[in-house]
Amino acid sequence: MRILVVGGGGREHALCWAISASPLCTKLFCAPGNAGIAQVAECIDIGAEDIAGQVALAQREKIDFVVVGPDAPLVAGIVDAFTAAGIKAWGPSKAAARLEGSKSFTKALCRENNIPTAAYEHFTDVAKAEAYIRAQGAPIVVKADGLAAGKGVIVAETVEQAVEAVRDILAGNRFGAAGASVVIEEFMQGEEASFFALCDGEHVLPLVGAQDHKRAFDGDKGPNTGGMGAYSPAPIFDAGMQKRTMDEIVMPTVRAMAKAGSPFKGVFYVGLMIDQKGPRLVEYNCRFGDPECQVLMMRLKSDLVPALLACVDGGLNHLDLRWSPEAALTVILATKGYPDSYPKGSEIRGLNQAAKIEGVQIFHAGTKADGNRILANGGRVLNVSAMASTVEEARARAYRAVDLIDWPEGFCRRDIAWRAVGQRS
């Protein structure tokens, strides 16, 4: 099969790495890709959100199967566009991608189907939202309804902060159309974990759990980011927790989406808050996590391609995937300044040396080649990943590799997997 992966981050590098190893793949393209992806796929400089450009590329290159990485094109309907052009594409339709693209859609679905999640209300009116916040008190969580590049969630510690967030979003137009309405939620306490499950619209194939680190700096300090590191398995997400998550959250969602005429095909990213009472849904994403995908692909021992094909064609119930019992961990190297503004174009050295460490795999997130040089070309730039029999050893290997990378303009957290390591020591 000639396969096209849409996207150009660390998640897409991990997907391309796994897909390129499949005997089913005869030729792999990635658009736009990056300098690391170029080692396993032919990169074509077309943006992930340029739907017409991506469809034209797939037609020109006679692509048999498209795998879409990021959320924005999925929410905008890229899979519907490929399907209309007669090209098989993996990922949810625009209607199914509302699970990520509209927080009020998902909250209403949870309410109708008794899926455990934070209590909430949905508002378009500032005064009504403000009255609700004052009645509930703080802490409280304000969310722009639509996609806001990971910035649309404000965990407010005071009533005043929450009111200001609502005014910014509804009256100040801070997120444009994505902020035409807001969801205001109960603040949930507990430990977060992410779980992934493939779905063909009817059947679900559970993958594994992982834990991300959303804050920029050590000790979970600093601003929220797309994710500064991840590891899998996550001790809190054990077999019992997975069963409850499947029974109480994922399966009711699958049935509700099918009943509504928008069956979900693709991967559920189930963002969870776990406490003594069990798992509650924080959010759904309709794509693999970035950087969670990187650790999942490292642990996956089976061919990924038949599983992705089955999401589109059906029959996921006949498939089984094998996972390494080892731990995988990834450390994100980001440009200093991220998640705010940062310069592009600084040179990264030492990558070859770092990649030689046993069990290490380096995925590129935001890089660009300039002849033989590798330049930083984004906020999150590299995902230095490692496998080992314990999470402690995987972490030691990853940081050994990080320390061989010569890039003064970059930074990383030094405490990835602190929960798992702390629990064991």
- The distance of closest approach from Cβ of residue 289 to ligand GLY in the complex, given in angstroms and rounded to an integer, is 4
The arrangement of strands across the sheet holding 65-68 comes to 42-43, 27-32, 2-7, 65-68, 88-90
| Cis amide leading into 32 (omega within 30) | yes
Closer to ligand AMP at the Cβ: 93 or 194? 194
- Dist. CA 339–CA 379, nearest whole Å: 7
CA distances from residue 228 to 220, 222, 247, 253, 383 in whole angstroms, order as listed: 10, 11, 30, 29, 9
- Dist. CA 338–CA 412, nearest whole Å: 11
Closer to ligand GLY at the Cβ: 88 or 214? 214
Are residues 90 and 12 in contact, defined by beta-carbon separation less than 8 angstroms? no
Closer to ligand AMP at the Cβ: 151 or 373? 151
The count of chain residues that interact with ligand AMP, using the rule CB under 6 A, is 13
DSSP class of residue 61? T
Any contact of residue 283 with ligand AMP (CB under 6 A)? yes
- Dist. CA 368–CA 294, nearest whole Å: 19
Contact partner at residue 10 from ligand AMP, ligand GLY, none, CB < 5 to 8 Å by partner kind: none
- The distance of closest approach from Cβ of residue 227 to ligand GLY in the complex, given in angstroms and rounded to an integer, is 3
* Single-letter amino acid code for the residue at 126: V
Q: What's the start-to-end Cα distance of the chain, in Å? A: 47
- The distance of closest approach from Cβ of residue 210 to ligand GLY in the complex, given in angstroms and rounded to an integer, is 9
Contact partner at residue 155 from ligand AMP, ligand GLY, none, CB < 5 to 8 Å by partner kind: ligand AMP
Closer to ligand AMP at the Cβ: 283 or 326? 283
Q: Per-residue string for binding with ligand AMP, 185-224, x by CB under 6 A?
A: xxxx---x---------------------x----------
Contact partner at residue 289 from ligand AMP, ligand GLY, none, CB < 5 to 8 Å by partner kind: ligand GLY
- The distance of closest approach from Cβ of residue 404 to ligand AMP in the complex, given in angstroms and rounded to an integer, is 31
Which tokens go with 3?
């396969």
Closer to ligand GLY at the Cβ: 145 or 290? 290
Residue with tokens 């796994």: 18
Which of 138, 155, 251, 256 is the binder for ligand AMP (CB under 6 A)?
155
- The distance of closest approach from Cβ of residue 170 to ligand AMP in the complex, given in angstroms and rounded to an integer, is 18
**Alpha-carbon torsion 305, 311, 314, 316, what sign?**
positive
- The distance of closest approach from Cβ of residue 152 to ligand AMP in the complex, given in angstroms and rounded to an integer, is 7
Closer to ligand AMP at the Cβ: 165 or 374? 165
Residues at the interface with ligand GLY (CB under 6 A): 212, 226-227, 285, 289-290, 292
- Dist. CA 171–CA 167, nearest whole Å: 5
Select from 57, 64, 142, 157 the least CA-distant residue to 104.
Answer: 142
Strand spans (E) along 213-286: 215-217, 221-224, 229-232, 265-275, 278-285
Closer to ligand AMP at the Cβ: 9 or 33? 9
In the range 105-144, which residues lie near ligand AMP by CB under 6 A? 118, 141
Are residues 24 and 88 in contact, defined by beta-carbon separation less than 8 angstroms? no
β-pairing verdict for 140-144 and 182-186: antiparallel
Instruction: Name the closest residue to ligand GLY (Cβ).
Output: 227
- The distance of closest approach from Cβ of residue 15 to ligand GLY in the complex, given in angstroms and rounded to an integer, is 13
Closer to ligand GLY at the Cβ: 292 or 415? 292
Contact partner at residue 185 from ligand GLY, ligand AMP, none, CB < 5 to 8 Å by partner kind: ligand AMP
- The distance of closest approach from Cβ of residue 191 to ligand AMP in the complex, given in angstroms and rounded to an integer, is 10
Q: Which residues bind ligand AMP (CB under 6 A)?
A: 118, 141, 153, 155, 185-188, 192, 214, 271, 282-283
